[in-house]
Amino acid sequence: MAELFASDADAPVAPFSAGRGRTAIDVPPDACDCHVHLYGARYPVVEGARLRPPEASAEDYRRLQQRTGTRRVVFVTPSTYGSDNASLRDALAAFGAKARGVAVIDERTSDSELEDLHDRGVRGIRLNLSLGVVNSASQIAPLSRRIAPLGWHLQLLAPAHGWSDLADVLEDLPVPIVFDHFGRLSPSMAGRHPSHALILRMLERRRAWVKLSGAYIVSERGAPGYEDMAVLARSFLDAAPDRVLWGSDWPHASATAGHQALPDDARLMALLAEWTGSARLLHRVLVDNPRELYGFDAPATP
């Protein structure tokens, strides 16, 4: 990484992020981090929650933005809180027009609550079929029908081997799908597993998006370089460059729980620049694509 600071003491640091200093790449204005969670002791933990990270506040995340160079952000309700979106509402209030949200809902969520969430900046819902305790695959179709009139999308996290089993359901939904964390595919599955083929097919048909988030979770080589992730990332970028997003997954709940090494978020941003290979494609992933999916304002005309 290029030396950007007079001394290590001057380099920005952020909680729950290895390393220090701003990323060395030229991050475009209005770049968006499309996958962030906030945690706080004031929010009730849902029974059975498997991840219970320490406090991670809006101010903590602003410190991370000094390292990644991002200005916009998409907050996602953590599985820790079930379908209680209080932490998401607070996050959206803290960041205003520079933020959008992805909520967690269930059958008990009212139409008035959906409308309230939309007014606050929510543009999608997430079903976590890996670590969540309030959602199941049987909810995919009915909840998709609930959110379709709002123009929202359905974000899914599930074990990679299960995507092909859900193919008939996923390809017949009234809303776009967002696969987060590389679809949970491991790099060795690229080009070999039917789940990878399904995601590529849905990207090419403009029925889905994919987040290049959580590289530290799915990489088989791990920190610090995650060298094995390049082939998987490029497969998505080559298939549909206008359907790829990037997210830090800060504060890296599974890493703070000890399942992986804590990643260096500035390095993750530099990895994205390597995968995209050009300033134009980097801008598309960090600015243009999030603007389209989440409805951020276009830049003001000079």
Mean per-residue pLDDT over the chain, rounded: 93
Is position 85 within any domain? yes
Q: Which domain holds residue 114?
A: 24-294
pLDDT band at 300 (very low <50, low <70, confident <90, very high): low
Total domains in the chain come to 1
- Using one digit for the tens of pLDDT, what is the confidence trace for 232-248? 999 999 999 999 999 99
On whether residue 15 sits in a domain, the answer given is no
With CA atoms as reference, report the closest residue to 39 among 286, 252, 226, 241. 252
Asked if the model's pLDDT at residue 13 lies above 90, the reply is yes
Mean pLDDT of the region 176-198: 96
Question: Which tens digit of pLDDT belongs to each residue from 169-180?
Answer: 999 999 999 999
Q: How confident is the model at residue 4 (pLDDT cuts 50, 70, 90)?
A: very low
Minimum mean pLDDT among 41-45, 116-120, 276-280, 295-299: which range?
295-299
Question: Is 220 inside any structural domain?
Answer: yes
| Least confident among 67-81, 86-100, 111-125, 253-267 | 253-267
What CATH number did the domain enclosing 66 receive? 3.20.20.140
Please list the alpha-helical segments (H only) found in 69-162. 86-95, 111-120, 140-147
Is residue 161 a part of any domain in this protein?
yes
Banded model confidence at residue 224, pLDDT cuts 50, 70, 90? confident
Q: Which of 141, 158, 226, 145 is nearest to 187 (CA)?
A: 226
Interatomic CA distance for residues 91 and 248, integer angstroms: 16
Residue 253 CB coordination number (10 Å) = 23
- Tell me the mean pLDDT in the region 131-157: 93
* Bond from prior residue into 142 cis (ω within 30 degrees of 0): no
| Residue 98 located in a structural domain | yes
- Write out the two tokens for 269: 């941003």
Residue 13 forms part of a structural domain? no
